[in-house]
Amino acid sequence: VRSVAWVHASLFVTAGQRQVKFWALEGGSKVSTPTGLRRAAGMGGSGSLSALDTQPLKGRACVLGEHRDATISCVVGNGYTTNSQSTPAPEDSLVFGVSSTGMLLRFQSSDRKVDRCVPLNASSAAAVDARRAPDGGQGGTVVCGVSDGRLRLFTFNLDPLAVVDTPHSLSHAVIATQFEGDAIHVVYSDRTFCCWDLQDIQAPVKQRCLDFHGAGVWDVDTCEEQGENLAAGAIVTVSADKSMRFWNLSGGDAGDKRVTGSELAQVIVTEPTQESVPKKQGSRDKSPDGLRCVKFSRDGQLVACGDFRGNVRLYDTSTFEQTSFIEAHQAEVLSLDFSHPLSGSLLATSSRDRLVHVFDVNRGDVVQTLDHHSAAVTSVGFAASVASDKLWLVSCGADKAVYFYENDGLEAAATSLELTRSRQVQERGVIYDLCIDPGTCKYAATVGQERRMKVLDIATGEEKQCVKTTASDEANVTKIDIDPTGLFVACACSDKTVQLLDFYS
């Protein structure tokens, strides 16, 4: 049984694979709650012990005709509720159902037959609801949610009324719908929840939308600068569902409200591409899909994301259009970082293929490749000093090493980058993440298997601090970030906790 719904006070209907059945309560009597159960629930009142008796029901099958091989995914009566002031008479009761073949069916409860049907122009449908006319008349509205993410509205006679489009550019199936007054609540298969205002049924308005990712979120970054479509403090998230989503959480005026009804400013879905990783003949590809990491440029004008296939994409945040596509690595991209604006438009990427590449964003080509790591490079970050006129690059990896590279001359890096390895720090465990102190750009903080945050001086490689960041002896610290003022540091742990620390104490 896939669905059950009341038709009126003494009749309900069930539906499922190749069957629709009507079930009548004999004599139309209502079953009351026993006194003992009411008292136990704190409801008081009286009840009848006979209500505990089992009442046998015999279902009467509906004649499906040409739809006999279909699965009826969902059924609903024509507006009956326990609190309804306009309950339809039994002889006027209608039942609406949607099938796995993408059809809307109407049943007459009096003769239990399909008297009308209409195609929904979709491969399948899984949600339907109905409401009676507000004035209590015989008319009403039926809404069907289909596999392409649209809502299709009909009269009780199955005449088309309107089509409600998907809430954003992602097309995901509708899995549940429910009327509430002039609004309809919709749940989509990608975990999106949306509320549509149907006061003007020809022009539905999105009242509220909770646009969650449809799979695990791998990375998040914050835009510090005000943009045309993004407020200062906006964040971007990337997920295994192949989407990148921008959120205006500060409540500012910036942001494209076409997708709105929520804090979501924009959704970008990455197009399927051919893999940059060559396959061996007869091998099975087990690498996951989706986006792995993301980073805003320092001025907030660009955002870069890396995927599990080793590709890097760059987008203009003013238009949300893709500006570059780079086949950067032979394995998943684990980290990204943009350089200081004075050093030109440089982007560093690290990967499980043990390489660090530095790209010129304007030209889209590799400026330099660093291959000193002997295992996956888990994180990479730029640091710049205007006072000493130097550009540094710091990387860490699963080989338990932190490498420091430097280039003399900030502006010279824009035309002739030549990063040289200045020092190496060897730790006792795998290093999962690092971040650069944005306040001074003098320190790099790392976390890893040692369950400690270590603060290293970028210029000398000297360890300045070592702090245990988790109370558990089994949890690892997997991510670290320092706030823009350089005063606080946040550490995410594998025990589902986040530690917030004073960076200097």
Q: HEC profile for 389-451?
A: CEEEEEEEECCCEEEEEEEECCHHHHCCCCCEEEEEEECCCCEEEEEECCCCCCEEEEEECCC
Please tell me the predicted confidence (pLDDT) of residue 27: 58
pLDDT in tens, 213-228: 878 899 999 998 887 8
pLDDT in tens, 415-440: 888 899 999 999 999 999 999 998 88
Q: Six-digit token pair at 397?
A: 């990896």
User: Are the CB atoms for 460 and 484 separated by under 8 Å?
Assistant: no
Q: How many CA atoms lie less than 13 Å away from 439 in the CB half-sphere?
A: 12
Enumerate residues 6+ apart whose C-beta is below 8 A from 102.
119, 120, 121, 122, 123, 124, 125, 146, 147
Please tell me the predicted confidence (pLDDT) of residue 307: 95
Rounded Cα distance between 325 and 319, Å, is: 16
Q: Is pTM beyond 0.85 here?
A: no
Rounded Cα distance between 403 and 444, Å, is: 11
pLDDT in tens, 179-197: 888 889 999 888 888 898 8
> Across the strands, what pairs with 404?
394, 423
Comparison of pLDDT for 331 and 202, the residue scoring more: 331
What's phi and psi for 77, nearest 5 deg?
-80, 170
pLDDT in tens, 70-126: 888 888 877 554 444 455 554 467 889 898 888 999 988 778 888 889 999 888 888
pLDDT in tens, 271-323: 765 544 444 444 444 557 799 999 999 888 999 999 999 999 999 999 999 99
> Across the strands, what pairs with 335?
350
Q: Six-digit token pair at 290?
A: 């989706």
Please tell me the predicted confidence (pLDDT) of residue 208: 82
Rounded to a whole number of angstroms, the CA Rg of the chain reads: 30
